[in-house]
């Protein structure tokens, strides 16, 4: 299979020092809001990379569900492969790609569990089907066929005919970045890149990078 030729032009959007903010998470919030306004599908989808127990990087797409003062937040099963990996090594990376805007945001940081009350508050807003799914799926464990999963979902539906409680094995994580990069695609592959790095005094340094 031949690779697709490198022919697309990323347009005339630009990113300059005047467009930046002192806090990269506030700039990220602005960019994410704009992506939502522009109708980018699953604008909060992010590729989360952790370090596997074998020392090899492991990646998957998750959905961001919150932006905090110093972190971004997502949710998962505490028994999933990514949760086990984060328990062993709490360093992780994320990358978001908004193709229609030719924009990319990268994160590197430390991961920690969020408080139980935050997980409970979010779980209560999920559709019933998603709540039941959290109970039905032993995430990352092998099963012989889909019927096993459907049967588990049916049993959970019968077990919780009214409200569905949050499982104690499901909840949120926050990634607190110590490095972020904002990337804006440009013509001739001369893209604009700015990297933020967290300093010991809590401020952020910023550098423009070669594309």
Set 26, 128, 189, 208: catalytic member: 189
- Annotation marks residue 13 as catalytic: no
The 3-class secondary structure across the chain, one letter per residue, is CCCCCCCCCCCCCCCCHHHCCCCHHHHHHHHHHHHHHCCCCCCCEEEEEEECCCCCEEEEEEECCEECCCCEEEEEECCCHHHHHHHHCCEEEEEEEEHHHCEEEEEEEEEEECCHHHHHHHHCCCCHHHHHHHHHCCCCCCCCCHHHHHHHHHHHHHHCCCCCCCCCCEEEEEEEEEEEEEEECCHHHCCEEEEEEECCCCCEEEEEECC
Active-site residue numbers?
189
């Amino acid at each position: 299979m031949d690779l697709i030729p490198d022919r697309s032009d990323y347009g005339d959007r630009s990113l300059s020092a005047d467009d930046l903010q002192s806090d990269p998470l506030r700039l990220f919030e602005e960019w994410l809001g704009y992506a939502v306004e522009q109708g980018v599908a699953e604008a909060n989808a992010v590729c989360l990379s952790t370090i596997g127990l074998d020392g090899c990087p492991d990646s998957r797409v998750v959905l961001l569900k919150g932006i905090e003062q110093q972190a971004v937040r997502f949710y998962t099963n505490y028994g999933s492969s990514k949760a086990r990996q984060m328990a062993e090594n709490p360093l992780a990376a994320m990358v978001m790609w908004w193709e229609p805007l030719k924009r990319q945001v990268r994160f590197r940081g430390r991961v920690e569990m969020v408080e139980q009350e935050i997980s409970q508050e979010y779980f209560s807003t999920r559709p019933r089907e998603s709540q039941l799914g959290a109970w039905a799926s032993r995430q990352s464990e092998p099963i012989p066929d889909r019927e096993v999963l459907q049967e588990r979902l049916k049993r959970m539906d019968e077990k919780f005919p009214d409200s569905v409680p949050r499982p104690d094995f499901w909840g949120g994580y926050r990634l607190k970045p110590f490095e972020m990069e904002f990337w804006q695609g440009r013509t001739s592959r001369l893209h604009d890149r700015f990297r933020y790095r967290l300093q010991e005094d809590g401020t952020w340094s910023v550098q423009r990078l070669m594309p």
